[in-house]
Structure 1
Amino acid sequence: MTTPHAPPDRSVVERTLGVLGAFDTAHASLTVSQISSRSHIPVATTYRIVSKLVSWGALERAEDNKYTIGLRLWEVSQLAPRHAGLRAAAVPAMFDLRSTTRRAVLLSTRDGTEGICLESVSGNARPLHRSWSRGHRFPLHATACGRVLLAAADTTVQDELYGGDLRRYTERTVHAPAVLRDLVAHTRRQGYAVSDGELLNGVVEIAAPIHGGDGAVLGAIGLITVGTASTAVPDAVGPLLAAARRVSRSLSDLPAAPGDAVPSPRTARSRTPRPQGACA
């Protein structure tokens, strides 16, 4: 509750923190009324704060008029030494995949019509692009991880992306909506995606989905190398798919978040090695 003489900025900060503090492991999805009750903030005020937090990305709208913690808040939280369950499960497999292929490995998830790199492990090539370093966003249409995540997204997200401006990053970037639809459908059928010089010239990315126990796609694991798809893909697909299956098995008890095909991962208790350097 606001004290009678509390400065306005202090009141706003305290109430905003109260809204975020209403969420915990036992209350990961809440309605505005539930947030109001748990934070002791009037419903009308709670609704205004929740709307602002949704627009900023700290909260996300789920099913049944409920809200969950958003990926934007996760991005900020990466400044603190806390690791999510998806990362904890994936990092050992990422190191093994790097050792097997000697290529850069990345782990990603989707936020709306963009991808976010959750973690990366350096390969033997030169540094490539900041989009493949932890915490950075990347386009779904021009990357292999992006197409894997897009293939798992609902039709609303797909239609929004296809109807928007598909930016060309190189001459090879697929920017025609009809062609992209076909590529996403092909990705869904074959179980992996390939991007050949579409985000950066001469850079090949191969990616496969990571599934939870209910079959929902929780993220994508990808390999990045310099060269051409004809030389990079044949030797990489087998190890990549094996790594994706390994991570998926370890996440078999992780449920999907309400209303999202790519849910936010849970915090894990296990300790895993920390990758060194950027993704490539």
Structure 2
Amino acid sequence: MTAPGDTRSRDNLLARAVRIIEAFDAGHASLPVSAVARRTGLPVPTTYRLVGELLQLGLLERGADRRVRVGVRLWELASRSAEATTLREAAMPFMDDLHAAVRQHTQLGVLDGEDVLYVERKSALGADVPNITRTASRLPAFACSSGLVLLAHASPATQERVLAAPRRVYTPLTVTDAGELRRHLAEARYRGYAVVRGWVHEQTAGVAVPVWGPDNTVLAALAVLIDNESARVATVLPVLLATARGISRALGAQPPPLAPVADECDPTGG
């Protein structure tokens, strides 16, 4: 039996509660408790007990169909993240203008571990391409334009950790070779933007640029999704770069001068 002062039981309890919350995603917004148990791998009695406690705390909610979902209380607490709130508040007016100008999906992401975490997303009705991301969803950093931009400005240790991790193949166009990915990172750092064509969805090309923070390090990546076949990067890149610089200045940064824009038709562009 665990002693009253032993922190191990509390750590285990917290870890299990986090696993339960992580069971919910864009494809599983609400679940029966039995499905939560299957998705977490926790014993059913343990899951029912912890779900009950999370319901009492407001971190989960139960619908009329008896399924459970993430509660408003959890959103309230998460919204207190100072960095994310400041970033979103600074970016939103600029993203609204960008969205109106390009009329394509736009998104803002930050590097979290080995993934890009999307803190804001603007969906466009009638956009040329599908977008599988949602606000608060993730993609592996190696696989998307936002991830290449963020990794290009990350520490060598972070880059190597991501490149050493298993890499999922999304489409026949997904680049997983570590050497080729290092080349893309070098190009993204030099050019000031990254282009990824069909790595996550064959129809979609992502174009991303860095957003600089007040300490003049890259805080986030701003991206636009365009059609992989017909759309040209040159149609969105200037306004995307200008928008990112506006957000950066709103955050108190002095972004560096832009490098010359490479030929959009360059086959090494992504």
Task: Calculate the TM-score normalised by the size of structure 1.
Answer: 0.62
Once the two structures are TM-superposed, the CA of residue 156 in structure 1 deviates from its matched residue by: 1.9
Hey, which bits of structure 1, 4+ residues long, moved more than 3 A? Answer: 75-78
Per-residue CA deviation, residues 83-122 of structure 1 (Å, 9 max, x unaligned), is 7110111111111001111111101111111111111111
Pairing of 1:35-54 with structure 2 (within 5 A) = 45=7, 49=11
Matched, 1:236 2:232: no
Paired with 1:127 and 1:80, the residues of 2 have a C-alpha distance of: 32
Question: Residue 79 of structure 1 aligns with which residue?
Answer: 75
AA of the residue aligned to 1:214: D
Pairing of 1:172-183 with structure 2 (within 5 A) = 172-183=173-184
Per-residue CA deviation, residues 237-259 of structure 1 (Å, 9 max, x unaligned), is 100000000000001179xxxxx
Q: Aligned in 2, Cα 1:78/1:97: closer, same or farther, shift over 3 Å?
A: farther
Once the two structures are TM-superposed, the CA of residue 127 in structure 1 deviates from its matched residue by: 7.1
Per-residue CA deviation, residues 17-48 of structure 1 (Å, 9 max, x unaligned), is xxxxxxxxxxxxxxxxxxxxxxxxx7x749x7
Pairing of 1:19-98 with structure 2 (within 5 A) = 45=7, 49=11, 79-80=75-76, 82=79, 84-98=85-99
Paired with 2:228 and 2:195, the residues of 1 have a C-alpha distance of: 13
Question: Residue 54 of structure 2 aligns with which residue?
Answer: none
Paired with 2:104 and 2:231, the residues of 1 have a C-alpha distance of: 13
DSSP-derived class of the 1:97 partner:
helix
Judge conservation of contact 1:107–1:119 (CA < 8 Å) in 2. Answer: yes
Once the two structures are TM-superposed, the CA of residue 49 in structure 1 deviates from its matched residue by: 4.2
Question: Residue 125 of structure 1 aligns with which residue?
Answer: 127
AA of the residue aligned to 1:144: S
Instruction: Count how many residue pairs are aligned between Structure 1 and Structure 2.
Output: 196
Pairing of 1:1-280 with structure 2 (within 5 A) = 45=7, 49=11, 79-80=75-76, 82=79, 84-123=85-124, 124-125=126-127, 128-130=130-132, 132-228=133-229, 231-252=231-252
**Relative contact order, higher structure (CA 8 A, sep 6+):** 1
Judge conservation of contact 1:107–1:117 (CA < 8 Å) in 2. Answer: yes
Judge conservation of contact 2:145–2:196 (CA < 8 Å) in 1. Answer: yes
Judge conservation of contact 2:129–2:204 (CA < 8 Å) in 1. Answer: no
Q: Aligned in 2, Cα 1:78/1:148: closer, same or farther, shift over 3 Å?
A: farther
Q: Aligned in 2, Cα 1:78/1:182: closer, same or farther, shift over 3 Å?
A: farther
Q: Aligned in 2, Cα 1:236/1:126: closer, same or farther, shift over 3 Å?
A: closer
Question: Residue 69 of structure 1 aligns with which residue?
Answer: none
Once the two structures are TM-superposed, the CA of residue 227 in structure 1 deviates from its matched residue by: 3.3
Judge conservation of contact 1:204–1:232 (CA < 8 Å) in 2. Answer: no
Paired with 1:253 and 1:179, the residues of 2 have a C-alpha distance of: 31
Paired with 2:207 and 2:131, the residues of 1 have a C-alpha distance of: 15
Question: Residue 261 of structure 2 aligns with which residue?
Answer: none
DSSP-derived class of the 1:199 partner:
coil
Paired with 2:206 and 2:147, the residues of 1 have a C-alpha distance of: 10
Once the two structures are TM-superposed, the CA of residue 226 in structure 1 deviates from its matched residue by: 2.3
